[in-house]
Each structure stands twice: as structure tokens, then as C-alpha cells.
Amino acid sequence: MNLNATLVAQIVVFFILAWFTMKFVWPPIMKALDERATKIADGLAAAERGKQSLDLASKRSAETLREGKEKVAEVLAQAEKRALHIIEAATVQARLEADKVVAGAKAEIEQEAARVRESLRERVAELAVAGAEKILRREVDAKVHADMLASIKQDL
Amino acid sequence: MVTGHEAAANAPNAGEYVVHHLTQLNTTGHVQSSIVDFGIINLDTVFFSLLMGVLGLFLMMRVVREVTSGVPGRGQAALEVLIEMVANQAKSIVHSEQSRKFVAPLALTVFVWVFLMNSMDFLPVDLLPWMWQTLTGNPHAYLRVVPTADLNGTLGMSVSVLLLCFWYNIKIKGLGGWVHELFTAPFGNHPLLYIPNFLMQMIEFLAKTVSHGMRLFGNMYAGELLFMLIALMGAAYGGSAGLTGPLLWIGHVIAGTGWALFHIFIVVLQAFIFMMLTLVYIGQAHEGH
């Protein structure tokens, strides 16, 4: 319990140790702590940003999906309309074609009928002439009475 | 019976044992006779306080060398917890960023250093003295291993804190401002009060410094003394007859364990108190009365 120069030695040691800690121990640890705090703050901010961009992206994707659905519906409607149109056009075309074919056939039939009628007429005239010839063998000369025969043919 | 008498004559009695243990190894080689003698240095206190200081710095430097701002290792995490604790205490007590650059590391040093010096008490009370006596071949060689159980050690630190208080008083208030404060506070600015003010200030500084050093010294000295008494109880085992011997031995184990466990708490608490008072006194130097 006596005092001596140890006290002075202790004072010197005290200041040397404190100086050493101030110079070499404290600053690196404090720097690391501050840097880590900055890193954590940055990380939190980045996470926040990520969350925001995720929200944005999901909103955008929903928008795109909706647009796509709308477009699909539109295209479908258009295609249906187009199909109806095509069917209608084809129907009309077919009817026209049918009419044309029917008309062609009718004309042909009529033509044939006319031709048959003509040939019949000629045959009838010939038969009439032949009959008359037989009846009027002497009196009637085909050449002389050609005009008359022609008018009879016309009347048939 | 004869051998027992001889052993009793050679072995120190309880009083001699304690006194021997409480005698410093100083430069004279024998007990210091006067209360104050600045021609003498306690070699054991200087050696062990230096050893503990260097050990503390070495342990901290080992962490610092591999310090990272990424994921810290266990050592770094432990040191960071300690440093954060000290930094927060310093921030709440010393309201000057500039001063804290020195005061906060100082508080850390004080805490670690005092803790390690106090921890010397955990070593068996006879271990290092016995090793020293064997090493020197002198069975009566003195050695005290707890630097904070030496008044020189603790007063040395508290005087260092006092010097720092003077330094910060002058730095913050200016020499004139501080002298003005010495004569006008705490009672007021009146010519009649100059002398009482100054006396009061001197008493304050003295009381702070002495109590600062004596508190730690007293705790560690008493702790050391109690360990010696417990060791004496165990040592009495050999010379006792009947049941007394084994009971003394059991008493040694129980008391030794209990006091060692309690002492762990005292060691940390006293280191913490010493650090806090260091901060408080330096903080007071920053504030006007």
C-alpha cells in the first residue's frame, strides 16, 4: 500500500496503450462498422427498388395479357365475319352459276326444239308436196308451183 | 511428532503467509519502509500491467488485421459488440465529436486493460509466486500478480485521467476560462467566494481521483486477500486432527468456487465502472459548472 515510482510508470503505460488503441485498433473497426451500415442501407434500398420494379413488371405483364386477349377476340370476330362473307359470296356465285347453266340448257333445248320444228316443217312440206304430187300427178309441176308451195310451207 | 514440529517451525504462519503475498517485488528487493518513496519501482506491477496491456492490444490487433465490412467472424463480432458498447457510452457522456476520437478508444483501452489486469486474480493465488520462487531459487522471493491490487497501478491510471481532465478543461474552456471557472464555480462569482470556490474545486479533483483509483484498488485488494484466506483454510487441512481436516478441505473448495464465481462478476463490473468514471470525469471537463 506504499506509493512509489510505479505510479509514474503506470501513467506512461496508460497513455501509450491509449494512443496505440486510438491509432491502430479503433479506426479500422469503426470503418468496418460504418461500411457495413452503408452496405446494409444500400441493400435495403436495392430490395425496395426491386420490389417496385417487380410491381411495375407484373402490372405491365397483366396489361400485355389483357391486350393480347382483346386482340385475339378481335381477330376471331374478324375471321368469323370473313368466313360468313366468303360463304355468302360462294352461295351467290353458285346460284349465278346454276342460273347460267339452267339458262344455257334452256336455250339449247329451245334451239333444239326450233331445229326439230324446222326439220319437221320441211318434212311436212315435203310430205304435203309428195301427197299432192301423188294426187295431182299430172296437173301439178313442182317447178311451176314453187311459189305456191313456198307460201304453204310458210303457213305450216 | 518431531517432524511435525519442524514443519511448523519452517512453514510460515497465517500472518506471515498473507504479508508475504502482499509484498511487492520492487527494485530494492525488500519491503518498502516509507509510505511514499519515488526512488522505488514495483517490478511485478509494471511487468504484469505491461503484459496485460500488450496482451489486450495483441488480441485486438489480431481481429483488426482481418477486419472486414462484410460478414464478420466471431472474434470481430465480439470486438464489435465491445466497441459499440464503449462508443455508445462515450457518445452519451462526452458531447464533443473531436474529443471522442481520443476519449472513446481510451475508454476501450481502459476497459480491456483493467479487465485483463483484474483477471490475473483468477489464477491460483500461489501459482505465479511459486513459479517465481522456483525460477529464482529464492523461497522468499516476493511477487504480486494483480497490478490493480497495487495502489500505484490504480492511482497511476486515475492520475492519468486527472491529467486528461486538466488537458480538456484547458482545451475546451481556454486557460483563462478554466482559471475563471476554478474561482467562480460552484458557489458564484463574488470576490469573497473566490477562495472557497477554489478550495472546493481542489477537493473535488482530489476526491474524484482518489476515489477513482481507490475503488478499483480496494475491490481487487480485498478479492486477493480473500483468496489468500481461502487458500489458508485449505492449507490448514494437513495439520488438523479428526474431521476438521476434511471439513476444511471441503470449505476451501466451496468458498473458493463461490468467491471465484462472484469475483468474475466483480472483475467485469470494476473494469466497467472504471471505464465509465473515466468517461464521466472527462465529460465533466467539457462542461462548464
pLDDT confidence bin for B11, thresholds 50/70/90: low
List the one residue out of A46, A89, A9, A34 whose CA is nearest residue B67. Answer: A34
The answer to whether the Cβ–Cβ distance between B61 and A24 falls below 8 Å is: yes
Q: Which stretch of DSSP H or E encloses residue B36?
A: strand B36-37
Q: Is the Cβ–Cβ distance between B279 and B103 less than 8 Å?
A: yes
pLDDT confidence bin for B25, thresholds 50/70/90: confident
The answer to whether the Cβ–Cβ distance between A8 and B60 falls below 8 Å is: no
Of B46, B70, B101, nearest to A6 by CB-CB distance is B46
> What is the per-residue pLDDT across B182-191, written as a single tens digit (0 to 9) for each?
998 888 888 8
Residue A145: CB atoms within 10 Å: 15
pTM: 0.76
Residues 32-91 (A) with a CB less than 8 A from some CB of B: 32-33, 35-36, 39
| Domain extent listing, chain A | 6-155
Q: How far separated are the first and last CA of chain B, in Å rounded?
A: 72
> What is the per-residue pLDDT across A58-113, written as a single tens digit (0 to 9) for each?
999 999 999 999 999 999 999 999 999 999 999 999 999 999 999 999 999 999 99
Q: Which stretch of DSSP H or E encloses residue B143?
A: none
- The one catalytic residue in B92, B189, B211, B240 is B211
β B36-37/A3-4 pair status: parallel
- From chain A, the residues in CB contact with B19 under 8 A are none
Please state the ipTM of this predicted complex: 0.86
Q: Is the Cβ–Cβ distance between B61 and B109 less than 8 Å?
A: no
